[in-house]
Amino acid sequence: MAKFVVPGQVSVSPDDERSKGDFYPTPFCATEALLRTVKFDGHVWEPAAGKGHISDVLRASHYQVIESDLYADELGRGSKVNFLETTSVPPGVKTIITNPPYSLLNDFIIHGLSLDPEFLIIHASVPALGGKTRGKIFNEHKPSLVIVISNNLKIETPKGVIRSIFNHDWIVWKKGSVDTQIKWVEAN
């Protein structure tokens, strides 16, 4: 299969070696950009915590963070929990922030919304906003805000650190919100 790659950038395609559990850590600068744009309070749950890239930035900004991950034993952070099998948020949690495995993105969105947090905030690539199934999800559960990171992020992959060919975003659902806004931010 041929793939188009911009010089100096690398694509992760179905033919490439995938990280176990689709583990691609969120760059610190992406979470910092989120925190410059969205204000929330209360405890935060990161249910796909990986090695703590999102959690570390949240803690540095004085948030109380509960970490879990299906692969916690191997990645060394948080409790071993299958987010998709949970029935409630941990005590005190008002916000769920995560970068889920792309293969489970739809499931994480639907399940996260079913847990009824004050905020559900998902990190994904801009192309993840498309598709028939995801369009149906977004029409039934309109995000309150999509934060487009206008510069391409450096992403850790099994091949090493690369500059993504896709822009990334934060998709934010705030309880009670009915309209979707879009904001563009830089993540440096």
The pLDDT value given to residue 3: 41
pLDDT mean across residues, the chain: 85
Rounded to an integer, the average pLDDT of 74-102 is 91
For the chain, give every domain's residue range.
20-185
The pLDDT value given to residue 4: 37
Please check the confidence at residue 170 and state whether its pLDDT lies above 90: yes
In order of 106, 129, 135, 136, the CA distances from 132 in angstroms are 11, 10, 5, 6
Rounded to an integer, the average pLDDT of 113-141 is 94
Q: Does domain 20-185 have CATH number 3.40.50.150?
A: yes
Q: What is the CB-side half-sphere exposure of residue 57 using CA atoms within 13 A?
A: 18
Please check the confidence at residue 6 and state whether its pLDDT lies above 50: no
